[in-house]
Structure 1
């Protein structure tokens, strides 16, 4: 048994065809801390997020959660493990099924794990309130809400299982200043109450300096 409480990418290598995107990269996110990750466009930041979120299995190296290795990806990972990590991406339009209402979008991960419907309804209402989605917005589909409102729904969806680790890949880049501040505040409050580990990728250096406990450069992780 281990007392480690961190999300770890250990010597991770990922390639697409002949192009190596990540080469023996190691990154650790402790419970309760916010790590800022920076690097130029195309340096592999988003790929590293997908690996840490258990959405992509690395070619070499491995991901571990609290000291336990995870040697699979996506639905091959047990529910109790994969729901411990969530990701919030830059484009809410790309992340949202346009056929779903905002309520169903938030509920989707719970229904995928066969959560009883009364629990689903209660949890969705709780999180919609948390992220500032008023009842009149919840029955709308993505095309009928703004990018900021849709990203709030995606944040609620990311938090729906109460993850121990939240990975934010340019999650505030497409938002206006007030929505950006609100999303950052919700994430910070969640981290504080749940002692979650948070990874933040942003080109906004002021935001990163204010948000992150420590900042690492992807080029320095090899």
Structure 2
């Protein structure tokens, strides 16, 4: 289980953004998280993935702290994939930085071989997002934080991306936290749904 245990967080010299939040995502489970803009959804996702340390409380993965080295078992996927890659690296190098996925999985995500020879800036947002999602599926990863990953994509690309991710997550029993303003999407994908409001987490 990926657990937030009484987690609180604040940026320096600002009011508390998150207060004593506890929740968990089980292996193989899809959980949704919604909330107003600025409520702290992305910050919470980054806390779970180890990008920030909580002011108080703990984040645990299967009862242990996140490791400080190697491929982390929790991967955060941001809305803007261009922020997650080195723009000077060829896409193949970006992908292989984490692992070399099998050809069948590349096909499932609709990734074309010629993309790997190009620079990230030459791909569309949807194409680059598929690369970033596939990169996050490296061996050893057990939980994904999908933070508005389909917001900027056209409907056809959205469906293809979620279908491919759902299938792979089921095969590997990955736990997934879906962060989105789209509550209809959360209802389609997730078995549980929480809403972040006024620094508190509410079950929906």
Give yes or no for contact 1:106–1:160 (8 Å, CA) kept in 2: no
SS at match of 1:172: coil
- Shift of residue 127, structure 1, vs aligned partner: 4.2
d(CA) in 2 for partners of 1:141, 1:125? 20
SS at match of 1:191: helix
Alpha-carbon RMSD: 1.7
Are residue 77 (structure 1) and residue 68 (structure 2) matched?
Answer: yes
Give yes or no for contact 2:72–2:141 (8 Å, CA) kept in 1: yes
SS at match of 2:65: strand
- Shift of residue 78, structure 1, vs aligned partner: 3.5
The 3 A distance-change label for structure 1 pair 144 and 69 is: closer
Are residue 10 (structure 1) and residue 1 (structure 2) matched?
Answer: no
Give yes or no for contact 1:91–1:171 (8 Å, CA) kept in 2: yes
Give the TM-score normalised by the residue count of structure 2: 0.91
Aligned counterpart, 2:142: 164
Are residue 59 (structure 1) and residue 59 (structure 2) matched?
Answer: no
- Shift of residue 126, structure 1, vs aligned partner: 5.2
Structure number with the higher helix fraction is 1
Give yes or no for contact 2:34–2:183 (8 Å, CA) kept in 1: no
The equivalences for 1:135-174 within 5 A come to: 135-174=113-152
The runs of at least 4 consecutive aligned structure 1 residues that moved more than 2 Å come to: 123-130, 219-222
Aligned counterpart, 2:35: 39
The 3 A distance-change label for structure 1 pair 188 and 162 is: farther
The equivalences for 1:63-212 within 5 A come to: 63-70=59-66, 77-79=68-70, 83-110=72-99, 120=100, 123=101, 125=103, 127-212=105-190
Give yes or no for contact 1:107–1:124 (8 Å, CA) kept in 2: no
Give yes or no for contact 2:36–2:181 (8 Å, CA) kept in 1: no
Structure 2 unaligned runs (5+)?
none
Structure 1 unaligned runs (5+)?
1-5, 71-75, 111-119
- Shift of residue 14, structure 1, vs aligned partner: 1.1
- Shift of residue 124, structure 1, vs aligned partner: 6.2
Aligned counterpart, 1:25: 21
